[in-house]
């Protein structure tokens, strides 16, 4: 865990000594029901490219959700996977003749430079599980700064919110950049953006959440968790939860233990899986939902919000709404926004399509170097 005081970081230039202008608080997200466009809304558009976030704005999302990787040369890019997968991206040409790293497909983000990554076509392949995805052939993996710049063009008054994940692998440190690199490099991009305090910082690796809170207590943090990160098959301490064991918390239910652990690391939001069931601690032959009413009640008792993922079915959304969740992360933000509105929730306004797509054309040209 990074042990740096805020005072040290101010002196080092990592945090500004002066407060940000017009700071946003966690309560600002309560203005609209928090419909989060997962990877920009991958049910409708190929994920994590500039057009993904364009359609998230068109669909009226409250929050744009995305993931970050760190390249070999230290650039913060927007991509979900640790590696470049053949099912999502295609090689075009090496960045230089006879590049020994070519082909780049199949390589880890951490082992490729930004220039190498920028040669990839990541907009030409529709995923079989999302048959309605729009394709954008030739679209590149963007940097986080490029996404901020594009969205600011379409959102000049900076109304959109962000939920940004550090895609670090706590099990395999050699596959991704480390905690310190993620936190410092992401924070530097956050702080230089007009969206600085509109950002929630989320991770399955809770070490990055504690490090970000230490670096900058003003950043809202969200603790991601699912069955793979909560437990280890051999009952050893999971590497994902910053050294915590859920069974060391009083509970009395599993959901309450999860909340208490997230509260221990000062997370502002808990973001559990909403579509998974796990064996009941009382009766292993019986499965119970990972996200429960008792989990949500305990989070609210401790002053935390709950925003489950990835909810693409309205029957699940109905139950979560009845239980009182504060937002929903979905691949179909247009559907969840319409559903939230039907249930009497205030929803974020949509942005003018003409402005969005004018900005998209401009920024995709900049991204390609034309």
Q: Per mean pLDDT, which range of 134-148, 204-218, 224-238, 301-315 is the poorest?
A: 224-238
Question: CB neighbours of 356 closer than 8 A, spacing ≥ 6?
Answer: 54, 57, 58, 154
Cα–Cα distance for residue pair 213/208, rounded to 1 Å: 9
Looking at residue 25, what is its pLDDT? Answer: 40
Q: Got the DSSP string for 168-221?
A: --SS-TTTS--HHHHHHHHHHHHHTSTTGGGEEEEESSHHHHHHHHHH-TTSEE
Looking at residue 15, what is its pLDDT? Answer: 38
> Confidence band (pLDDT; 50, 70, 90) for 17?
very low
Q: Per mean pLDDT, which range of 9-18, 47-56, 286-295 is the poorest?
A: 9-18
Output the six-digit token pair for 336: 């969840």
Terminal-to-terminal C-alpha distance of the chain = 43
Looking at residue 143, what is its pLDDT? Answer: 98
Q: What is the DSSP-derived secondary structure letter of residue 17?
A: S
Cβ(256)–Cβ(218) under 8 Å? Answer: no
How do residues 254-281 score in pLDDT, each as one tens digit?
999 999 999 999 999 999 999 998 887 7
Looking at residue 326, what is its pLDDT? Answer: 98
How do residues 64-92 score in pLDDT, each as one tens digit?
999 999 999 999 999 999 999 999 999 99
> Confidence band (pLDDT; 50, 70, 90) for 296?
very high
Q: Is the pLDDT of residue 210 over 60?
A: yes
Mean pLDDT of 30-59: 96
> Confidence band (pLDDT; 50, 70, 90) for 3?
very low
How do residues 333-368 score in pLDDT, each as one tens digit?
999 999 999 999 999 999 999 999 999 999 998 776
How do residues 158-195 score in pLDDT, each as one tens digit?
999 999 999 999 999 999 999 999 999 999 999 999 99
Cα–Cα distance for residue pair 253/257, rounded to 1 Å: 6
Cα–Cα distance for residue pair 341/339, rounded to 1 Å: 5
Looking at residue 195, what is its pLDDT? Answer: 98
Looking at residue 30, what is its pLDDT? Answer: 62
C-alpha to C-alpha distances, 44 to 55, 134, 308, 314, nearest whole angstrom: 8, 6, 20, 17
Output the six-digit token pair for 227: 């069955």
Cα–Cα distance for residue pair 226/274, rounded to 1 Å: 9
Looking at residue 370, what is its pLDDT? Answer: 52
Q: Is the pLDDT of residue 115 over 80?
A: yes
Q: Is the pLDDT of residue 157 over 70?
A: yes
Output the six-digit token pair for 3: 């042990």
């Amino acid at each position: 865990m990074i042990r740096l005081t805020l005072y040290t970081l101010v002196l080092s230039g990592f945090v500004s000594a002066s407060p940000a202008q017009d700071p946003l608080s966690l309560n600002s997200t309560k203005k609209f029901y928090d419909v989060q466009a997962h990877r920009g809304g991958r049910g409708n558009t190929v994920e994590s490219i500039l057009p993904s976030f364009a359609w998230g704005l068109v669909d009226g999302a409250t929050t744009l959700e995305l993931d970050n990787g760190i390249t070999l040369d230290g650039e913060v890019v927007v991509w979900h996977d640790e590696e470049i997968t053949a099912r999502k991206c295609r090689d075009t040409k090496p960045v230089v003749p006879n590049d020994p790293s070519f082909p780049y497909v199949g390589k880890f983000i951490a082992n490729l430079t930004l220039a190498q990554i920028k040669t990839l076509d990541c907009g030409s392949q529709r995923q079989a599980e999302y048959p309605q995805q729009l394709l954008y052939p030739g679209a590149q993996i963007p940097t986080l700064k490029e996404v901020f710049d594009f969205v600011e063009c379409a959102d000049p008054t900076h109304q959109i919110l962000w939920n940004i994940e550090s895609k670090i692998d706590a099990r395999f440190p050699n596959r991704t950049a480390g905690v310190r690199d993620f936190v410092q490099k992401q924070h530097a991009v956050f702080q230089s953006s007009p969206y600085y305090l509109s950002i929630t910082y989320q991770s399955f690796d809770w070490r990055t959440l504690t490090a970000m809170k230490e670096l900058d207590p003003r950043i809202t943090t969200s603790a991601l968790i699912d069955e793979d990160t909560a437990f280890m098959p051999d009952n050893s301490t999971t590497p994902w939860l910053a050294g915590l064991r859920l069974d060391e918390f009083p509970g009395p239910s599993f959901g309450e233990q999860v909340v208490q652990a997230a509260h221990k690391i000062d997370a502002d939001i808990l973001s559990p899986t909403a579509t998974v069931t796990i064996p009941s601690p009382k009766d292993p032959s019986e499965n119970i939902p990972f996200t429960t009413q008792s989990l949500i009640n305990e989070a609210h008792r401790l002053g935390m919000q709950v925003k489950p993922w990835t909810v693409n079915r309205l029957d699940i959304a109905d139950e979560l709404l009845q239980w009182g969740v504060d937002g929903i992360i979905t691949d179909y933000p247009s559907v969840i926004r319409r559903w939230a509105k039907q249930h009497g929730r205030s929803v974020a306004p949509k942005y003018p399509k003409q402005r969005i797509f004018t900005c998209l054309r401009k920024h995709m040209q900049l991204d390609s170097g034309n």
